[in-house]
Amino acid sequence: MESGNKQGSIKYDHNIPNQSTKKQYKMMGLICNLLLKFAEEKTDKSTLEEIKNRLGIPEKGFKTEKIYPEDEWQRFLNAIAKTLDVDNDTAEQMFAEYAMSLLPVQFESVFRNSANALDFLRKVPGMLLNLPALTGLATKEKIKMVIDEKNKIVYHYNSPNHLCTFLKSMIKLVFQYYKEYDYCIKGTQCMKDGKNYCEIIITCK
Spatial distance between the Cα atoms of 92 and 39, rounded to a whole number of angstroms: 12
Amino acid at 2: E
The nearer residue to ligand HEM, 31 or 48, going by C-beta atoms, is 31
| Side-chain-side CA neighbours of residue 199 (13 Å) | 8
β strands within the chain, DSSP E: 2-3, 26-28, 67-69, 143-149, 152-157, 183-189, 198-204
Within residues 85-144, the interface with ligand HEM by CB under 6 A covers 103, 107, 110, 121, 124, 127-128, 131-132, 138, 142
* DSSP string covering 156-200: EE--TT--HHHHHHHHHHHHHHTT---EEEEEEE-GGGT-SSEEE
Amino acid at 83: T
Interaction of residue 170 with ligand HEM, rule CB under 6 A: yes
The nearer residue to ligand HEM, 88 or 161, going by C-beta atoms, is 161
Within residues 40-79, the interface with ligand HEM by CB under 6 A covers none
Interface characters, 18-47, with ligand HEM (x: CB under 6 A):
---------xx-xx----------------
For residue 41, the minimal CB distance to ligand HEM (Å) is 18
Interaction of residue 171 with ligand HEM, rule CB under 6 A: yes
Cα 95–chain centre separation: 8
For residue 138, the minimal CB distance to ligand HEM (Å) is 5
Which residues contact ligand HEM (rule: CB under 6 A)? 27-28, 30-31, 103, 107, 110, 121, 124, 127-128, 131-132, 138, 142, 159, 161, 163, 166-167, 170-171, 174
